[in-house]
Amino acid sequence: MSFLAAAAPALISGGLQFGLGKLFGGGSKTVAPPPPPTGINAGGLSSSMSGGNINVAASPERLGFVSGVQNTFRDLGGEIGALRGMVAPGISSLRASRLAEIEDARNRAIGDLRENLQRRRIMGSSFGNDAIARAENEFAGTRERVAAESTLQELEATNNLINQQFNAQRMQFQTGLDELNLQANIAAGLAGKATDTMSQNARFMALLNSQEAAASGKFFGQAFGPAFNAVGSSVGKNFGSFFGGGGGGVGAGAGLSGF
């Protein structure tokens, strides 16, 4: 028993030093865990994380720019709307002016025709009446064409202004929606990066755990195995000497060596 008491501290100390050297001194080196996802602070946008949620906020300056663009489109829509109100009266005035010109031309043409027919003394004849009727029909057709063209011009101008006003008003809201979509896309990208980083960290911790378990097994197998074998061999010899049987000591030592 005095031999065991004297040998055990030295064996345990040597085994610990050997095991710790294997555990921390050598072997494969593990890579550092991936860094956490970084946020943004640029272009008037900044990100933060709170309660597992990623928040993206706009600075007052950026909000002012976005609001300015929206107000510009709003004002443009208002101006175009005001132009719409001027289309119908303007086209109507243009139509009336063109029709008045046609009527003046008619009066002059029919007057000259009547005067010419009278000089030729065929006024009231079938030939004269037919000439006057043809002239009237020609001017009537011109009046109808001008009226139809004016109506089409009014419809086309009104339709163009409606589309322009709609696009301006739509861009007023689209500007705000684009800003929200930008913030949402940035948050989604940061969230995806954070998820990937968490997955990498989980794999890294699993790798550390497996290496620690493997190192612990080597520590006890390589460090304490030889120590216990040495102790077992010594105990076997002592018991063999004590009982006077060398073979018994070998058996005992072999049994402990198997431990």
Tell whether 205 is covered by a domain.
no
The helix/strand/coil state of 45 is strand
- For residue 175, what pLDDT is reported? 92
Dig out the tokens for 94 from the structure.
């243009």
Tell whether 77 is covered by a domain.
yes
- For residue 42, what pLDDT is reported? 79
Would the pTM count as exceeding 0.85?
A: no
Domain enclosing residue 170, as ranges: 71-196
- For residue 68, what pLDDT is reported? 93
Tell whether 176 is covered by a domain.
yes
Tell whether 54 is covered by a domain.
no
Instruction: Tell me the sheet residues that pair with 42.
Output: 45
Tell whether 241 is covered by a domain.
no
What are the CA-CA distances from residue 25 to residues 11, 17, 28, 29, 139 (Å)?
20, 10, 10, 10, 111
- For residue 249, what pLDDT is reported? 42
CB 73 within 8 A of CB 172: yes
Distance CA 166, CA 29 (A): 65
Tell whether 221 is covered by a domain.
no
CB 23 within 8 A of CB 215: yes
Tell whether 183 is covered by a domain.
yes
Tell me the angle at which helices 2-20 and 225-243 cross, rounded to the nearest 10 degrees.
Answer: 170
- For residue 8, what pLDDT is reported? 47
Tell whether 158 is covered by a domain.
yes
CA angle 204, 190, 43 (to 5 degrees): 140
What are the CA-CA distances from residue 217 to residues 8, 174, 199, 221 (Å)?
21, 64, 27, 6
What is the chain's pLDDT, residue by residue, as a tens digit (259 residues)? Answer: 444 444 445 444 455 444 444 444 444 455 565 565 567 787 888 888 787 788 888 899 999 999 999 999 999 999 999 998 899 888 888 889 999 999 999 999 999 999 998 988 888 888 889 999 999 999 999 999 999 999 999 999 999 999 999 999 999 999 999 998 998 888 888 877 777 777 777 787 888 888 777 776 665 565 555 655 655 565 455 545 544 554 444 444 444 344 3
- For residue 31, what pLDDT is reported? 54
